Amino acid sequence: MEDSKGRLKSCGLKNTRQRREIIGILEQSGRPVSAEGIFFGLREQGETVSLSTVYRVLELLIEKKAVRRLSTVEECGALFELDDKHRHYLVCLGCHRMFPLDDCPLKSYEKELTDKTGFDVTGHSLEIYGYCRDCRGKRKG
């Protein structure tokens, strides 16, 4: 797995402390994190960085394909994760947990779309909303 310095170098970005620390938070989390979650994680580590700086760095990392933005039904808005592995999620509308899918159900569909339409598919995103086993049980009870 690539470290934060290596990620920045491979994206052609300067290795700044703020960029390294933001990537570090995403590496440590193992799941998508909100910008506010990154901000508070940095504060817990003793970093003095503004929320607007976190957003600016995230936008730059998204532009350079080092980070991916996920939409969400939570009130926090977007979530962010490292763009190092192609992932899709099941999102629980009850507890807002996100469950990663092990494989991509859209690979063959992308090829089919390209063959039928001539459209050059460069990527996709998939989130499926519903209720996890725990929340489904609570809704019935």
Q: Name the binding residues.
A: 86, 92, 95, 124, 132, 135
SS3 state of residue 100: strand
Q: How far apart are CA 71 and CA 125, in angstroms?
A: 10
Residue 61: count of CB within 10 angstroms of its CB: 24
Nearest alpha-carbon partner for 19 in 29, 7, 32, 31: 7
Binding residues for Fe cation: 86, 124
Cα end-to-end distance, the chain, whole Å: 44
Binding residues for Zn(2+): 92, 95, 132, 135
SS3 state of residue 131: coil
DSSP 82-98: ESSS---EEEETTT--E
Please name the residue that has the structure tokens 């779309």. Answer: 113
